[in-house]
Amino acid sequence: MDFITGETLYIDKPLGWTSFDAVKRVRSLLTRRMGVKKLKVGHAGTLDPLATGVIIVVTGRSTKLIESLQAGVKEYIATIALGATTPSFDLETEIDATYPTDHITRPMVEDTLKKFTGRIEQIPPAFSACKVDGKRAYEMARKGRDPELKPKILVIDEIELLDFSPTSITIRVVCSKGTYIRALARDIGAALNSGGHLTALRRTRVGDVTIDRCLPIDRIADVLAAVPIEYPDDFKR
């Protein structure tokens, strides 16, 4: 494989890792294997540390493809706790309010989910990398400030209810780039006259790359150690 001209790796990011952690791991393994000091390595589409699943890592000149790769449709499996909210809309922060859930039924959830399909507006989470006046929103939020984030237009192609209880639902979501599933959890909870926050998230597809095509991170070292390494004709060590 020619990692300087460019290769694409499909990785199943584990829980607790940042997307950049996966990039650093690949870069470290490749530079040692290839005997080089530097190598361009990037990823197409960030996953939060509390999420798992598909992350596309590209090397060398293929990093120019990042924008087109991350524009692909995404698919997620998300578990949402109902009846409670957190400032980050997930488990990064503690519960800040609780709400009733006795009124929530499966038909009510199914009808509510239909309202979130198609072209919708979504306000990003305060704990996000969106910029407000040149600063990251999460930097402001962690200092106790409330960043003013504007709604964004996005497209949700499908939402399917996979599992239901009055206090927790699991859904499959097919959506466009830029969709915050944490914000979707917040909005679904509010639409159910309750609260909601994300408790688990797995990305199962980016474009045509599905989770079954991805390597677990603990197999990357063995795979990269076994593949034959090629170099472009104009490469100088």
The residues annotated with a catalytic role in the active site are: 48
Sign of CA dihedral 95, 97, 102, 108: negative
- The structure tokens 């677990």 sit at 216
- Residue 194 corresponds to which tokens in the numbers above? 């309750």
Q: Which two tokens stand for residue 213?
A: 């095509």
3-state DSSP: the chain helix, strand, coil percent, rounded to 5? 25, 35, 40
- Tell me if 128 sits within 8 A of 150, measured CB to CB: no
Do residues 8 and 58 touch, judged by C-beta distance below 8 A?
yes
- How large is the C-alpha radius of gyration of the chain? 20
How far apart are the C-alpha atoms of 183 and 175, rounded to whole Å?
A: 13
DSSP annotation of 56: E
